[in-house]
Chain A
Amino acid sequence: MNDIEIADLYQELIVDHSRRPRNYRRLENATHQAEGFNPLCGDKVKVYVDLENDVVRDISFEGEGCAISKASASLMTETIKGKSKAEVEQLFSRFRDLATGTGDGSGLGKLAVFSGLRGFPARVKCATLVWHTLRAALEQTANIVSTE
């Protein structure tokens, strides 16, 4: 546990996505959207989805937060574009297992870069906020999501 270093968490890909987040915009023709908010740390995210026949045709996000939350949102949107709702669920559960140290990240592609999170339990909520927000959007639940 202790041999997980800062560099394992803040890998180049994560820093890059935090500084230049992809799909960072409002999606005008979104069919689904939801908001996530962690009031204790102030992280905010809004997820927009264009869903057709249960497949994510397009996805984007806006928000404010730490490098981990921004990079997680950016990489998530890249990964799930074109995926079905069932595939999103599968990716989410694998991602959560990776973040909490119970999974090995297989099948996650680029998202496996978050493997360092298992050494930083206090930061798991930063990375998972956007995923919970996405699920709320897909399930059309109205309340603001939180991972605190």
Chain B
Amino acid sequence: MSALRVLKSAEFDLLQIRRDFPALHQKVHGKPLVYLDNAATTQKPKAVIDAVSQFYRSDCSNVHRAVHALSERATNAYEAARRTVQQFINARSEREIVFVRGATEAINLVMNSFVRPRMKSGGEILISVLEHHSNIVPWQLLAEQTAARLVVAPINDDGELMLDEFEQCLSSRTVFVSLAHISNALGTVLPVREIVQMAHARNIPVLIDGAQAVAHAGVDVHELDCDFYAFSGHKVFGPTGIGVLYGRENLLDEMPPYQAGGDMIRTVTFEKTTYNDLPYKFEAGTPHIAGAIGLGAALEYLKRVGIDRAGAHERGLLAYGTELLTAIPGLRMIGTAREKIGVFSFVLEGVHPHDVGTILDRDGIAVRTGHHCAQPVMERFGVPATTRASLALYNSKAELDALANGIRRLQKLFAISG
């Protein structure tokens, strides 16, 4: 069994994969780029860049409109991308895949078209401390407008959601549950399957914000049994400005449109407009066609690499990096969940994260510093900000060595023994 595992991970050709990503092969401040800001956005493989370029070079046209050849090619490519997404996350039907701008828009769509009509005064929306601002602020807005209440499930000192406490937050007042699949600030993987079961046992629908998950873990919405699943293309090697809302067909069917305009209608008269079928009812206006095609190419690429193989590689890096970084005196890791992906969020004694970010940048190392759009997480751990190094499938042990060496050097600059 273990021999088989070794063999399988050996099939993961890191050098070849790195060759697939042109942006990785550059120098920054004279040093080879070490890109460790993947939770913010990932670099793009040639397959994606080529697909986007191909669209603009030869297939550029609007979709679902004209009968000419270019429009047919554009429409076919756009709809093929939708099928790729559907198969990638194992949705039952293409009608359940709505192209949006990103996870943020997907959450706002569900907030406005699904939750708002169901919300009543005193109703509750349940989220967790781990959420990104994009899964906090829409619900706050709705709560303000409908006299509803936002309930926040707590986490423990390792940055893990506690299922018992979560279950206690569910009540007869809970109208909706919206939770991250994986925390962007800490990398914690939430027990989403159990969460969905607990909520469904009380007939409460659930949205999972999968922005951090799709590039790192296999997502199966059928098995997960969630009602909505949201993610952004750019965090899974696709273009910016494109994302996906998965929604159960029967729920999407009964929801009013989110935005109104062209393409989302069947017939328009000044007396009455009838809406188009799913998913077009939710895709008003000309969509981000090139973006959708690029996202399709990104998911095809990930499928070719093998999400399991990539995941195994990243888990190896996580273990290696955790050992390497926690051995540095004065380094405190924030987020030590048992189930986590390759995110190292840390603070250094006596050195502010912004100084860490500036100094590492001069070593060619790209990390994120700040609150990572998750201020409640920072508050929970009593820090104003952290330095975050986040992995993708193209990162290497050598890059983690470079990070650790960079940290030790900057500690010397600040005259801290290390």
Contact = CB atoms under 8 A, between A and B. Distances in A.
A122 B358 contact: yes
B413 A66 contact: no
Contacts of B352: 65-67
B316 to A, nearest CB: 31
A2 B361 CA distance: 12
A68 B355 CA distance: 8
Contacts, number: 46
Contacts of A19: 350, 414-415
B330 to A, nearest CB: 13
Nearest to A15: B414
A86 interface: no
Interface in A32-51: 40-43
Contact of A67 (B355, B371, B384): B355
Interface stretch (A4-12, A52-60, A75-83, A129-137): A4-12
Contacts of A123: 354, 358
A24 interface: no
Nearest to B363: A6
B29 interface: yes
Interface in B318-376: 350-355, 358-359, 362, 370-371
Interface residues of A, number: 21
A2 B355 contact: no
Contacts of A65: 352, 354
A33 to B, nearest CB: 22
A64 interface: yes
Contacts of A40: 370
A68 B362 CA distance: 16
Nearest to B378: A42
B413 A15 contact: yes
Contacts of B382: none
A6 B362 contact: yes
B358 A64 contact: no
Contacts of B384: 42, 64
A31 B413 CA distance: 38
B130 interface: no
Contacts of B362: 5-6
Interface residues of B, number: 18
B359 A126 contact: no
B385 interface: yes
B311 to A, nearest CB: 33
A41 B358 contact: no
Nearest to B359: A6
A126 B354 contact: yes
Contacts of B371: 42
Nearest to A9: B358
B17 to A, nearest CB: 30
Contacts of B415: 15, 19
B370 A42 contact: yes
Contacts of B354: 41, 43, 65-66, 68, 123, 126
Interface in A65-108: 65-68
Interface string A114-148: 00000010110010000000000000000000000
Given A10-B355, A67-B355, A123-B354, 11 more contacts: A5-B362, A10-B413, A15-B415, A19-B350, A41-B385, A42-B370, A43-B354, A66-B353, A66-B355, A67-B414, A68-B355
17 contacts: A2-B29, A2-B30, A5-B362, A6-B358, A6-B362, A6-B413, A10-B355, A10-B414, A19-B414, A42-B385, A64-B384, A66-B353, A67-B351, A67-B355, A68-B354, A120-B358, A123-B354
The 4 closest A-B pairs by CB, nearest first: A66-B352, A66-B354, A42-B384, A67-B355
